[in-house]
Structure 1
Amino acid sequence: MDVLRLSEDHHEWLKELCTHVENDFVQLVEDVAGSLLDANYKTNINMEASPTLKRGTAALGALLVEASKRDSAPDAVALYLQAIDIPEKHCADIVESYRKRKMELRRTGSSVGFSFPQIVDVNWRLDYAVTSKNMSRTAEPGYKVYFETMSKEHGLDSISFAASVEDLHEIVWKLREAVKSVEKHAGGS
């Protein structure tokens, strides 16, 4: 578990939010947490009403996301909030909301993002064209390549393409170039 850290700006924005919103603070915290979990969550927060409210809710969202990403214990979040001088009542409200929503926030955070499909299998077939409509004799080899891929978004999928011998040589050359580049950067760090 990593130490929870936010920027000094976030600290100031959280403090401003606590002094700006006295009534309905619990509802505000619930609305911020709910909007992090569901893009269609209906909130009563009017961001246009106040720049302080806008900055404060952004800081509160950052706190909840960072705490869940780092798998921070609710008690650690409480200590962190106390260390940056958040009032005790507001601290308790934030920690209670975090305690209730921590696992949901972690699940949502782990499903966010983009990743390229992983190649899980490769098959190929050599087709040798002896004749064609336009020419009596062509004698050209051609390859059909099939990739089986796995992705979080689409599960198992297939990608296929046809290539000439020259095309395959170019693909192999570019892949070797990519491997060399990765090895160079990995070895240099």
Structure 2
Amino acid sequence: PRDPAHTACACTRACARGRRRVCEPRDDPDLQDIDPAVLKQCHAAAATCILEAGRQRADVAAISTCLEDCKLDKERIEQFCTEYQKNKDALEILLGSIGRSPLHITDVSWRLEYQIKTNQLHKTYQPSYLVTLNVESDSGSHPDVSFSCTMEQLQDLVGKLKDAAKSLERATQM
């Protein structure tokens, strides 16, 4: 197994480059021996820290203090700050492109997909749904948001949206 500090640095490096998706083992050979669930958690933690630092325009001293409070060792703090500094300008541009107001969903479309083989040529025969959210924002048009999910994931999403709608309805009646 690889050194945890080396792995943390590789994950931070992937996040600091401003990728819009979870780092994957094929993206970086240093990440190949890591359990995908652990990698996903590490990516979420690093991305949250990087985005918050970028949003607050934090300097290295402020980031170091925050990471020391989280009990990170000095070596990891230095690695994190180095990667953050290297990619700070690109991250600020990326954050600026997101805008200040959340996207507004104007329409939803979906279609049934039927995956026969994976890219490793394994037969799967799994139905899935391709969902497309048409969105807009105050700053102009944005590309549609598309994702693929299983029937169970789609049912879970619909259930959570119904819960959110009920919660909002209760809040407005108070």
TM-score scaled by length of structure 2: 0.48
**Rg (Cα) greater in structure:** 1
Q: Could you state the TM-score of these two structures normalised by the residue count of structure 1? A: 0.44
